[in-house]
Structure 1
Amino acid sequence: MSESVPEAEVREEAEVAVEPEYAPAVPAPLNVPRTPTGNADVDAQLERLADADHLATDGHVEVYEDVHRGLRDALTALDARPGPPAPPSAYQSRS
């Protein structure tokens, strides 16, 4: 004797939609830890990355470009800072 499931029950089970495991209604923060570098300009730019946590993926580009520009400016500023004063030359001490 064979047990069979009525065809209507089989059809109902097949029509049940499988829900995804994770489907957030809003963007979720990544919670990536940011370690301070000690440079205020760089640290401010790294903190700016947190703004992307609350945006949809298509809004990340603007934040990333802004942070990249800020980091590039901070790096350029390091080259523009004056170095230690040069030692006086022999010519300058004779005047």
Structure 2
Amino acid sequence: MSDTVPQAGSEQRAQAGPEPEPAAPAPLEVGLTPTGDAEVDARLERLADADHLATDGHVEVYEDVHRGLRDALTALDARPGPPAPPSPYQSRS
């Protein structure tokens, strides 16, 4: 006679088998329209890397893309543009 008492539900777990594997990430396959700016287009294409990662890896890709797009916008502000036209309200000496 065995002194061990089966735990409640242990027979059900044994019959159910092993836990199923989590599903592999499914690509979103979102189409991208080129912007005409090579740097911006490269950053947007980087978003496709998230398709091959588990959900917890998406944050790194999104942050990298966001940082790159922010840098591209900052660079636009830093580029010298044409001189501003003179204001009609400036005093002429």
- Check whether TM > 0.5: yes
TM-score (norm 1): 0.62
| Higher share of residues assigned helix | 1
How far is 1:28 from its partner? Answer: 1.4
In structure 2, the partner of 1:67 is: 65
In structure 2, the partner of 1:17 is: none
How far is 1:72 from its partner? Answer: 0.1
Q: 2:80 aligns with which of 54, 79, 82?
A: 82
In structure 2, the partner of 1:25 is: 23
TM-score (norm 2): 0.63
Distance 2:36 2:51 in 1: 23
Distance 1:24 1:58 in 2: 13
Aligned AA for 1:83?
G
Give SS of 2:31's match. Answer: coil
Moved over 3 A (4+): none
Structure 1 unmatched ranges of 5 or more: 1-22, 88-95
Aligned AA for 2:78?
A
Q: 1:56 aligns with which of 28, 35, 54?
A: 54
Distance 1:77 1:65 in 2: 18
Q: 2:32 aligns with which of 25, 30, 34?
A: 34
Matched residues, number: 65
Percentage of pairs with the same residue: 88
Distance 1:80 1:49 in 2: 26
Distance 1:76 1:86 in 2: 20
Give SS of 1:28's match. Answer: coil
Rg larger in 1 or in 2?
A: 1
Output one character per residue of 1:46-84: Cα deviation in whole Å (capped at 9) or x when no partner.
000000000000000000000000000000000011112
How far is 1:25 from its partner? Answer: 3.3
